[in-house]
Amino acid sequence: MHEPLQFSVPTTARIKEDVLSQDLLFPRYGDGARGFKRGKFTDSPSMYRNVITWYLKAAGLTTAAIASHLSISPSRVNALALRTRKQLYSGMTIDLMQWSAKEKKLSLEELPVHMFIAMKQEMWAAENALSYCIKADCRVMSGALRLGRAAYLAAMEPVVGLKCSCDLCKFQSSDFTPYWFEESELT
């Protein structure tokens, strides 16, 4: 019988955040985060690391970058991200949108906005899940939010003002302002 893997504390992420930043970022709880299965969430010492893995994967970071950031092996990254997403999310996934893009034969102009919509939904749901991680290391979480939000802004820039004509995207908001801003920050 195999023993469960030991929880690996993400010390690299904590050290980076200590060195790089004075101000900690905290997750944005959002009522617009559709698909987060709150009833399936159980806080544990490793849950925040699993949610961060899903969050960074949804943000488009490479497996190697996530593994290095969280002090886990690259082979664990994809498994943790997929398992956590399946456990906590029932919304529009990046995988579903990739399949949909191939099925609908979307144009090259529509593809970036089509994929961005799924990225936004998954990241928002994952960040919402992070807001429930009471046992989280705040520095590790802040560093992950810093990385994910930077990736989000980079992905958002080229799609602002674009629309996708597919049925899945028609029902999504075409407002691409960052989901973590308060309304007072936008004015």
The stretches in the chain having pLDDT less than 50 are 2, 183-184, 186-187
Residue 184 has a pLDDT of 45
β-sheet bridge partners, residue 36: 89
Residues 89-104: tens digit of each pLDDT: 988 889 999 998 888 8
19 in a structural domain:
no
CB 43, CB 17: distance < 8 Å: no
**Domain range for residue 115?**
40-178
Domain count, the chain: 1
98 in a structural domain:
yes
Q: What span, in angstroms and rounded, lies between the C-alpha atoms of 186 and 104?
A: 35
Residues 28-59: tens digit of each pLDDT: 766 656 777 877 788 887 888 999 999 999 99
25 in a structural domain:
no
170 in a structural domain:
yes
Give 54's contacts (C-beta < 8 A, 6+ positions apart): 80, 81, 84, 85, 88, 89, 122, 126, 129
169 in a structural domain:
yes
26 in a structural domain:
no
16 in a structural domain:
no
Q: For the chain, how many residues are written?
A: 187
Residue 2 has a pLDDT of 47
Chain-centroid distance of CA 43 in Å reads 18
Residue 6 has a pLDDT of 55
CB 85, CB 122: distance < 8 Å: yes
70 in a structural domain:
yes
Residue 81 has a pLDDT of 95
